[in-house]
Amino acid sequence: MNTMDVSAKAEIGSTRDSRFDILFEHVHIGPRIAKNRFYQPPHCNGMGGLRPQAHAAMRGMKAEGGWAVVNTEHCSIHPTSDLMPEVLHTLWDDGDIPPLALMCDAVHEHGALAGVQLAYAAYYNANKLTREVPMGPIARPVDGYFPVQVRAMDLQDIRNLRGWMRAASRRAVQAGFDIVNVDANFSTIAFQFLSPRNQRTDEYGGSLRNRARLLKELIEEAREGVRGECAVSVRLIIDELCGDVGLQVEDEGLAVIEMLCDLPDLWDVVVGTWADDSPTSRFAGENEHEPFVKRIKSVTKKPVVGVGRFTSPDTMASLIRRGILDMIGATRPSIADPFIPRKIEEGRYEDIRECIGCNICVSSHYMMANLRCTQNPTMGEEWRKGWHPEKMQPKASDKHVLVVGAGPAGLECARALGDRGYAVTLAEKSRQPGGRVTAESALPGLREWGRVRDWRVTQLQKMPNVRIYLESDLGVEDCLGLDVDHIVLATGSTWRRDGLGRLRNRPLENTSTLPILTPDDIMAGRSVSGSVVIYDEDHYYMGGVIAEKLVQMGCKVTLVTSAPEISAFSYNTLELPRVARRLDSLGVTVLTHHLLSGLDSQGPRFAHIHTGRAAEIAADAIVMLTARQSNDALYEPLLQAIGKEKRDRDISVSRIGDCLAPAAIYHAVYAGHRFAREFEEAIEEVPFRRERISLQSRD
Ligand code: ADP
Ligand code: SF4
């Protein structure tokens, strides 16, 4: 079996390359010692205080994977800072201690340090749960569209805030944390005072020293609260990336660290908003922030942590060796592979499941659902399903499984079944494995998505019990001719050409009046020229990416969508503004709020979704992004053939991934993994554990 337990492996002895030794040096953080330089910064996860056992298990898994420091996400220090319905943590009173203590225990079990991100948000708060009046540096509406204003804090409010930080820090110590992180991130009061946008005229506004006063006081209060029993760190935006309207690193970002340099025990530095700090691979590569962080260590002797979607051990070691960072902050890489430190330590570099930079993990925060990840289907399932990213339960029998289709669903299904020890045959009709991942990773900006395929193929190649056949287009008789007990159809899906979709309930008429293409045609290399309209009812990345591809091919492109925004789902992956800027820079014309009403010889006709007002766009071709159809043509014939023939043994058939119901790539990977986990296992009707609210009185 290929399921060697990583805990057992660690005892065999380290085989890492000596050039990575530097990553395993200790780092002193105030009164605590981090066992290596791997730091999991705070990150949202959709579990938080609402699902504390799931949260603790997820953080504990990072610690088991070798991270020296594991942080919570945003933890509010007072009811006047309430971000509900976002699922985060609170330390408002002692009743909030036990859920966080669970996490500390899980992290400590593996010798890691636990950190808590203590935050007080200001303009970001609408206080929807508590109905308290939000406060900020000055009076103004809250961010977004909620009809609420914050009131300006007076000096008594500031004194109160300092007390809340002190009390929350004390509770953090009681919960068992090793590091209290004073959050001066984009949504927090500390940063909103620090930013040049702070228009106060008292001792908390104006000069940098005045604007930094609140941050300094909050660090001092945290110190008071922890009474030397744990470390105090700061998470700080060092550049707002908006020119001189905001804080700039060379101007005030470095100056504020120089001013407060020894007050905290560690500086965790970030850049801009969450969208700037966590760009997708479509728009930024690894280590994008180095130009911003490269001088921080020249102004402080305290350890510095920075992020940059680091997955390469060479990049990590280089940042330490060149004196740019002391600890490697890695959020998304720690989600895609919680065991990166252990794998580097054991010299298993090719086993690292590299983050593809898609930000599906971020979307779980906006969905308020357990964290999920395209590369790591076990993420968020550690407690409720008991899934471990590095361990599978052994097979239940000697059955032989045929998996048809080597897209993300089929690859992951074969890999995970193989890991359980089953004999697996994986058949793929194309010359290359990867299915839609191979096709889509050739589109502009999506190259890193190929890692979904590459990691799985690398793992499969090590499994003697898995045979892979490429260029094998299987039919019913081919499947039944193999000596298998179970057939898994992972044969994917095809984009529809007929216009039926989310809003359009019936196929288009007059389809011969205009060439109609689909993304499959474009990815297959079909040529198209002139004016092309893309009609997008899909609302995720494909519309924008196909637009880019068509511009590269020399077309004049108009992107029409029924949604109020282009690529509307991309709000959840923090990409929406960048998509808009990219398409604008490429000269793509955008029309939102319009439904495709028909086709005629002049081109496609559209109607405004609210007013019905008609719009026509002259076009030489239209690309239809409405829906996909499952490639499940084998399913019914297989069932019928199996039913008709008396065979020596029963053969069963399942469909997974896009073949069952087309969805995003992360669904396909999850479907493949889930099938393998549940194959020949008894599964309850509710297939996961739930954290139910216990009804008890306030006291
Ligand atoms: P998913 O996202 O569900 O994994 P994909 O479309 O990415 O779906 O992958 C499906 C894969 O199945 C494609 O690589 C396709 O070539 C392959 N495939 C489809 N039909 C057959 C078949 N009859 N025999 C072998 N492979 C097939
Ligand atoms: Fe990386 Fe995507 Fe996983 Fe997030 S969801 S950790 S961006 S692979």
Please say whether the beta carbons of 342 and 61 come within 8 A. no
* Secondary element (H or E) of residue 211: helix 208-211
| Domain-located, residue 663 | yes
| Domain-located, residue 195 | yes
Point out the domain boundary residue: 567, 597, 629.
629
Question: Does pTM surpass 0.85?
Answer: yes
The pLDDT value recorded for residue 646 is: 59
Residue to mutate, 374, 412, 428, 482, ligand 1, most ligand atoms under 8 Å from C-beta: 428
The pLDDT value recorded for residue 3 is: 32
Same domain, 578 and 647: no
The ligand minimizing its distance to the Cα of 487 is 1
Same domain, 429 and 484: yes
CA dist list (Å): 74 to 311, 362, 497, 645:
24, 14, 45, 60
- List of the chain residues with pLDDT < 50: 1-13
Same domain, 87 and 174: yes
The pLDDT value recorded for residue 12 is: 43
Same domain, 416 and 322: no
Distance 493 CA to ligand 1 centre (A): 8
- Rounded Cα distance between 517 and 521, Å, is 6
- Rounded Cα distance between 246 and 252, Å, is 9
The ligand minimizing its distance to the Cα of 282 is 2
Same domain, 656 and 674: yes
Q: For residue 625, what is the domain's CATH number?
A: 3.50.50.60
Cα angle value 370/371/373 (rounded, 5°): 135
| Domain-located, residue 687 | no
Which atom of ligand 2 is nearest to 379's Cα?
3
Which atom of ligand 1 is nearest to 667's Cα?
2
- Identify the CA nearest to 472 among candidates 428, 434, 431, 432: 428
The two most distant CA atoms of the chain are separated, in Å, by 88
- Rounded Cα distance between 339 and 329, Å, is 14
| Domain-located, residue 71 | yes
Q: What sign does the dihedral 227-73-210-124 (CA atoms) show?
A: negative
| Domain-located, residue 697 | no
Same domain, 104 and 199: yes
DSSP lists the bridge partners of residue 614 as 607
Cα angle value 658/662/663 (rounded, 5°): 110
Same domain, 173 and 310: yes
Q: What sign does the dihedral 442-445-448-449 (CA atoms) show?
A: negative
Same domain, 528 and 410: no
The pLDDT value recorded for residue 124 is: 85
Q: Which residues lie with the beta carbon below 6 Å from any ligand 1 atom?
A: 404-410, 427-430, 435-436, 472-474, 490-493, 631, 657-659, 668
Q: For residue 197, what is the domain's CATH number?
A: 3.20.20.70
Structural domains counted in the chain: 3
| Domain-located, residue 550 | yes
Query: In this structure, which residue's CA is closest to atom 2 in ligand 2?
Result: 358
Give me the domain span that covers residue 537: 497-629
Distance 696 CA to ligand 2 centre (A): 38
The pLDDT value recorded for residue 647 is: 62
Distance 470 CA to ligand 1 centre (A): 11
Distance 669 CA to ligand 1 centre (A): 13
Query: In this structure, which residue's CA is closest to atom 11 in ligand 1?
Result: 405
Which atom of ligand 2 is nearest to 280's Cα?
7
Distance 377 CA to ligand 1 centre (A): 19
| Domain-located, residue 685 | no
Per-residue pLDDT tens for 368-418? 999 999 999 999 999 999 999 999 999 999 999 999 999 999 999 999 999
Point out the domain boundary residue: 591, 612, 629.
629
Same domain, 652 and 550: no
Same domain, 432 and 510: no
Burial 599-616, CB ≥16 within 10 A → b, else e: beeebbbbbeeeeeeeee
Please say whether the beta carbons of 73 and 117 come within 8 A. yes
| Domain-located, residue 6 | no
Same domain, 206 and 271: yes
Task: Determine the residue type at 534.
Answer: I
Which atom of ligand 1 is nearest to 472's Cα?
25
Same domain, 323 and 446: no
